[in-house]
């Protein structure tokens, strides 16, 4: 995150417990405070991890106090499938900046947006990549989400869980405000507009180089 802070293309950051666990983070608060000391002026979302709404609310209020650029990230439901809408409404009324995550349907977007109408600023994260994983085209869904949020000047739509660089262009084409991106995707930006014949040759060279490095041989039988 600190390395990407110097990249002018990166306008904000988000985390979730799964990513933090993969990164080996053991002290949630210490990690957050360290990051905020290095990144004080861009929006950063830290997610609650309780499954009980009362505790989730206390976690969100604590997270919100970590900095003016902090957004408390709330899942759209708990693990029992119970709606977070009442909690989202309470936190919005308390003027907590929110990032509501793991949405995948238009009905969820409509309901969450209404609950966030009094939020000082908020993100609605629709997991377009996971929608695509089910065989559905996320582009029409994300376009409709953009339409839903037009009447909410305090809210921005996030194209979450992208799977490929093309998703950046798709998100821009439908008017999505934000797209999250992993390092794997960002590392492909240099390929934008690359000549396809040249790219084909590069691919052939890669296969040949890897075969040589591996020491492969085929003995005639």
Tell me if 33 is assigned to some domain.
yes
Tens of pLDDT, residues 57-74 = 999 999 999 999 999 999
Tell me if 212 is assigned to some domain.
no
What's phi and psi for 146, nearest 5 deg? -60, -45
Predicted pLDDT at 20: 87
Predicted pLDDT at 191: 97
Tell me if 95 is assigned to some domain.
yes
Tell me if 209 is assigned to some domain.
no
Tell me if 132 is assigned to some domain.
yes
Strand 70-75: give its sheet, edge to edge: 13-14, 44-47, 70-75, 98-103, 122-126, 155-159, 178-179
Residue 173's pLDDT band, with cuts at 50, 70 and 90, is very high
Tens of pLDDT, residues 122-147 = 999 999 999 999 999 999 999 999 99
Q: How many distinct structural domains can be found in the chain?
A: 1
The CATH number given to whatever domain includes residue 147 is 3.20.20.70
* Structural domain of 128: 4-190
Tens of pLDDT, residues 9-45 = 899 999 888 888 988 999 999 999 999 999 999 999 9
Distances (CA, A) of 125 to 2, 34, 104, 187: 23, 25, 9, 23
Tell me if 13 is assigned to some domain.
yes
Mean pLDDT on 176-201? 96
Share above pLDDT 90 across residues of the chain, in percent, rounded to a whole number: 90
Share above pLDDT 70 across residues of the chain, in percent, rounded to a whole number: 100
Burial of 163 (0-12, 13-18, 19+ CB in 10 A): middle
Question: What's the token pair of residue 49?
Answer: 């991890």
């Amino acid at each position: 995150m600190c390395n990407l802070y110097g990249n002018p293309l990166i306008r904000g950051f988000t985390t979730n417990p799964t990513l933090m666990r993969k990164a080996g983070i053991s002290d949630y608060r210490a990690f957050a405070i360290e990051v905020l000391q290095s990144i004080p002026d861009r929006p950063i979302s830290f997610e609650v991890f309780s499954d009980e709404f009362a505790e989730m609310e206390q976690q969100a209020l604590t997270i919100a106090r970590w900095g003016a650029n902090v957004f408390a990230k709330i899942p759209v439901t708990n693990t029992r499938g119970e709606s977070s809408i009442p909690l989202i409404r309470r936190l919005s009324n308390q003027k907590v900046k929110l990032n509501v995550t793991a949405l995948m349907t238009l009905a969820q977007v409509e309901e969450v947006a209404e609950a966030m109408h009094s939020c000082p600023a908020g993100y609605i994260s629709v997991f377009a990549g996971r929608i695509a994983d089910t065989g559905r085209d996320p582009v029409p869904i994300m376009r409709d989400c953009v339409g839903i949020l037009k009447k909410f000047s305090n809210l921005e739509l996030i194209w979450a869980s992208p799977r490929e660089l093309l998703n950046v262009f798709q998100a821009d084409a439908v008017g999505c405000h934000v797209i999250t991106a992993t390092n794997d995707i960002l590392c492909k930006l240099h390929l934008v507009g690359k000549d396809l014949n040249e790219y084909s040759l590069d691919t052939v060279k890669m296969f040949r180089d890897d075969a040589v490095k591996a020491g492969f041989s085929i003995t005639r039988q």
